[in-house]
């Protein structure tokens, strides 16, 4: 039985070739432009708006293979996967015409703002609030750890509006242009070295037109998770690609490095942990493929469970693969030449973002296993 179609295999091979041409020392802007020109960035977006007409299955292949070549594009998780999906599913015709062609061809980029300083993983504590104004909306609040705001034309902000009937707040999504009055950003000083920078955002009474709202006010959670499930799938792809890159580096070294009579890869103390990492990465990919298939088939509930499991499995597999790869190279694993040391920090991202492994375990224990909540 073939898990992947021939079309998917061909896509994987083509993207892998693109990744190999760019490699670890890649120029992000050049790679982004070339991936867009080849149709890879918008492979999940509708054909009528310039996309490839595929889904998360195809987009996750693109990110995984670029990561495996050492040149992942983090904004793929955000721009086409989260924002493009939400707009394609819930946006107005005008919003689709305005944003989707540019997201597909790479000429437009959109960031995504959900995390807040005092909310963490608890999206129910989001305090960024939207009030109706005479000409649309007024948005006030703060966000933190928002990727790529400086290179994004707009940010899809998760805010909350007050339900007139109950007085309770419910999530809603708003497109906030980069140059909107009152929309301020400050870069966070990160130990993690990445092309995409992290920002804290302040929204100080940002005035938005009526059509800045994406989707209906009453369908906030549905619309929110329509974006969060692809985010988890793509984070899994990011982690699997990174793990594969680290493992490939370690394998090449273990086959060549000789201290005694045979290459070090002949010793089980080296070979078995690398084999275990390969197995774990392959298992994580299977769950990612399941999550993508369920999401693309319209099964949001099934995709939610599988996407969380895939993100968890991929994060764990990535961290272990990077750790074992560095260990295989010994001192060389910490040199700039081999490019593994920086992954020690980067691999942790897959465990803590966009949702921590503990929150995923909470989700599985409550939703899948039916255990009671402690909170």
Tell me the mean pLDDT in the region 236-262. Answer: 96
The confidence score (pLDDT) of residue 308 equals 97
The confidence score (pLDDT) of residue 215 equals 86
Cα 311 to Cα 353: distance, rounded to the nearest angstrom: 9
Same domain membership, residue 128 and residue 65: no
Distance set, CA 267 to CA 244, 255, 320 (Å): 21, 11, 19
**Stretch among 18-22, 62-66, 220-224 having the lowest mean pLDDT:** 220-224
Last residue of a domain, one of 59, 74, 109: 109
Same domain membership, residue 361 and residue 225: yes
Tell me the mean pLDDT in the region 98-114. Answer: 97
Tell me the mean pLDDT in the region 341-363. Answer: 94
Confidence category of residue 163, pLDDT binned at 50, 70, 90:
low
Same domain membership, residue 308 and residue 262: yes
Instruction: Decide if 70 contacts 19 (C-beta within 8 A).
Output: yes
- Quick check: is 1 in a domain? no
306: domain CATH number is: 1.20.140.10
Cα 200 to Cα 187: distance, rounded to the nearest angstrom: 6
Question: What predicted TM-score, i.e. pTM, was given to this entire model?
Answer: 0.95
Give the tens place of pLDDT for each residue, 172-198.
899 999 999 999 999 999 988 788 899
The confidence score (pLDDT) of residue 220 equals 60
> Does 82 score more than 60 pLDDT?
yes
User: What integer best gives the mean pLDDT of the chain?
Assistant: 93
Last residue of a domain, one of 198, 218, 238: 218
**Stretch among 1-5, 25-29, 60-64 having the lowest mean pLDDT:** 1-5
Confidence category of residue 63, pLDDT binned at 50, 70, 90:
very high
Same domain membership, residue 73 and residue 161: no
Domain that holds residue 180: 111-218
Instruction: Decide if 69 contacts 23 (C-beta within 8 A).
Output: yes
Same domain membership, residue 281 and residue 152: no
Cα 142 to Cα 115: distance, rounded to the nearest angstrom: 9
> Does 122 score more than 70 pLDDT?
no
Tell me the mean pLDDT in the region 120-139. Answer: 82
- Quick check: is 374 in a domain? no
């Amino acid at each position: 039985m073939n898990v992947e179609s021939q079309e998917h295999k061909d896509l994987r091979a083509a993207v892998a070739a693109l990744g190999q041409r760019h490699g670890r020392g890649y120029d992000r802007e050049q790679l982004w432009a070339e991936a867009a020109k080849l149709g890879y960035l918008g492979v999940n977006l509708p054909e009528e708006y310039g996309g490839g007409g595929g889904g998360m299955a195809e987009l996750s292949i693109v990110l995984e293979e670029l990561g495996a070549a050492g040149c992942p594009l983090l904004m793929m998780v955000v721009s086409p996967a989260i924002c493009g999906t939400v707009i394609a599913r819930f946006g107005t015709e005008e919003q689709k015409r305005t944003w989707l062609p540019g997201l597909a061809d790479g000429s437009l980029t959109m960031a995504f703002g959900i995390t807040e300083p005092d909310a963490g993983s608890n999206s129910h504590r989001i305090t960024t609030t939207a009030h109706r104004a005479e000409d649309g909306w007024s948005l006030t609040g703060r966000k933190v750890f928002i990727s790529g705001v400086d290179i994004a034309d707009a940010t899809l902000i998760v805010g909350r509006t007050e339900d007139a009937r109950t007085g309770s707040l419910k999530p809603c999504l708003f497109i906030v242009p980069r140059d909107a009055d009152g929309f301020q950003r400050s870069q966070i000083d990160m130990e993690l070295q990445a092309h995409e920078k992290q920002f804290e955002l302040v929204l100080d009474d940002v005035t938005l037109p009526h059509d800045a709202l994406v989707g209906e006010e009453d369908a906030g959670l549905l619309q929110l998770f329509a974006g969060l499930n692809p985010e988890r799938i793509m984070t899994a792809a990011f982690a699997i690609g990174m793990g594969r890159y680290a493992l490939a580096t370690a394998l090449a070294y273990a086959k060549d490095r000789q201290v005694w009579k045979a290459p070090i890869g002949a010793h089980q103390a080296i070979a078995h942990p690398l084999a275990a990492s390969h197995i774990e990465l392959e298992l994580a990919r299977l769950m990612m493929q399941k999550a993508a298939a369920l999401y693309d088939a319209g099964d949001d509930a099934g995709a939610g469970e599988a996407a969380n499991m895939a993100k968890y499995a991929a994060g764990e597999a990535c961290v272990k693969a990077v750790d074992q790869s560095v260990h295989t190279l010994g001192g060389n694993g910490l040199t700039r030449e081999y490019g593994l040391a920086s992954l020690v920090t980067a691999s942790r991202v897959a465990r803590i973002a966009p949702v921590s492994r503990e929150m995923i375990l909470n989700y599985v224990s409550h939703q899948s296993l039916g255990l009671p909540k402690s909170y």
